[in-house]
Structure 1
């Protein structure tokens, strides 16, 4: 029987768990932004496009400036993520590490503003938090897209849910990848639940500190794995 390659082992032991953690982060930050920053998403840009259309159509209580700010910042962050991929494309671990460092810096900046403006009564402060968070999540999304781990986009679950149901035994499918797909869905749900509870009880700043703490833990895991591995271990798995 063929032994699994080092790349496959690192993929299963490190890359996939990191993507699960980042999916939780996505749920957290979108709960914070939607509940605390004026009905806007900082990770799921699909929602912002819909909100922008509704706002421009004159729908009551639907923002225009917030989704525009998020979309512009997301585009900027995606460009930064693209540069990181170009620089470290051959090493999945370093690409992830750089992306999470950038995301952590941006989230910390957002947390500082949110804590300084405790209730974010200033719209300028709220927009600054939206912009920083959207930029950070764009870096994350760009690198996750580059890694192309099936069913772990950390953001978009429509296709994951479709696949989970359409491939299930009741639908006549093989029932494959249920655990992986279910984990992705539950991770986003858990992040949104925790983020919602935090915002309702403590405002915007504390959950952003929780996000930063999670990213620090992920960086610790990645850094330890990088120190104990060779570059070849981080090649894309072939099986």
Structure 2
């Protein structure tokens, strides 16, 4: 009896832990975009859709954001996603802790961006003097994150977007078709994704008085803690679901 119940209980525990980790990463993504938009010259580094629209507005001669900032952010995001596909894929092939490694690299990049901001501009905000190099580093890190989330493939928790999660949640709540009902765990994850992004945005906004550099270093520290716990705690080693080739 004990062996029969141990399996489901262990699986449930891993599900809860996985949800907690991905929720933390969602909050961090919201915080990164809040810090980027509010202290780095009204540019997103995680929300590629926002940068694409800003770029379109700038090309059309409208809006207050020049072409360079969204262009650099979007290019860096693209390169980060491509690098993640190559580097993380090789780590996965070697059966190493790919999830922790990807998060550690992300944390290192965010720390580099924070240190660069402090070194080049002091402890203040970069809103009045946007630094495209800092923007590019953060954008690259978020591109890497996008690949990490895609490879983890946790339903309803992309960590960086809420549109699909929000629509799926609303569809499940208002649909009268029983077959369309989402499992309880998936529904909880959809809610957490939406709420987590909001919470991250609030926290990021509250961090803006710290200045761009310090805020990025704080976010990098949390990401590094998550990566470390994944390796240190044995029961977290089975967090990631099936890997995407």
Q: Same fold (TM over 0.5)?
A: yes
Q: 1:16 to 1:42 in 2, by over 3 A?
A: same
Which runs of at least 4 in structure 1 moved beyond 4 Å after TM superposition?
A: 1-11, 90-93, 229-235
Structure 1 residue 195 corresponds to structure 2 residue 204: yes
Structure 1 residue 236 corresponds to structure 2 residue 218: no
Structure 2 CA distance, aligned partners of 1:111 and 1:132?
Answer: 9
Q: Given that residues 43 and 137 in structure 1 are in contact (C-alpha distance below 8 angstroms), is that contact kept between their aligned partners in structure 2?
A: yes
User: Superposition pairs for residues 51-62 of structure 1, below 5 Å?
Assistant: 51-62=54-65
Q: State the aligned residue count.
A: 231
Structure 2 CA distance, aligned partners of 1:130 and 1:136?
Answer: 10
1:180 — aligned with what? 189
Structure 2 CA distance, aligned partners of 1:221 and 1:142?
Answer: 20
Shift of 1:216: 2.2
Tell me, which stretches of 5 or more residues in structure 1 are unaligned? Answer: none
Q: How high is the TM-score relative to the length of structure 1?
A: 0.85
Structure 1 residue 78 corresponds to structure 2 residue 84: no
Q: 1:224 to 1:232 in 2, by over 3 A?
A: closer
Q: For each residue in 1:140-195, what CA deviation from the matched residue of structure 2 results, as whole angstroms up to 9, or x when unmatched?
A: 11011011110010011101000111110x44253643322111111111111010
Matching residue within 17, 41, 55 for 1:38: 41
Structure 1 CA distance, aligned partners of 2:236 and 2:213?
Answer: 38
Structure 2 CA distance, aligned partners of 1:196 and 1:214?
Answer: 17
Q: 1:75 to 1:6 in 2, by over 3 A?
A: farther
Structure 2 CA distance, aligned partners of 1:92 and 1:59?
Answer: 49
Shift of 1:231: 7.7
1:207 — aligned with what? 215
Q: How high is the TM-score relative to the length of structure 2?
A: 0.83
User: Superposition pairs for residues 127-166 of structure 1, below 5 Å?
Assistant: 127-166=132-171
2:99 — aligned with what? 96
Q: For each residue in 1:1-51, what CA deviation from the matched residue of structure 2 results, as whole angstroms up to 9, or x when unmatched?
A: 787479946752543322111111100100011111111111110111111
Matching residue within 8, 24, 27 for 1:24: 27
Q: 1:205 to 1:166 in 2, by over 3 A?
A: same
Structure 2 CA distance, aligned partners of 1:93 and 1:35?
Answer: 37
Shift of 1:96: 0.9
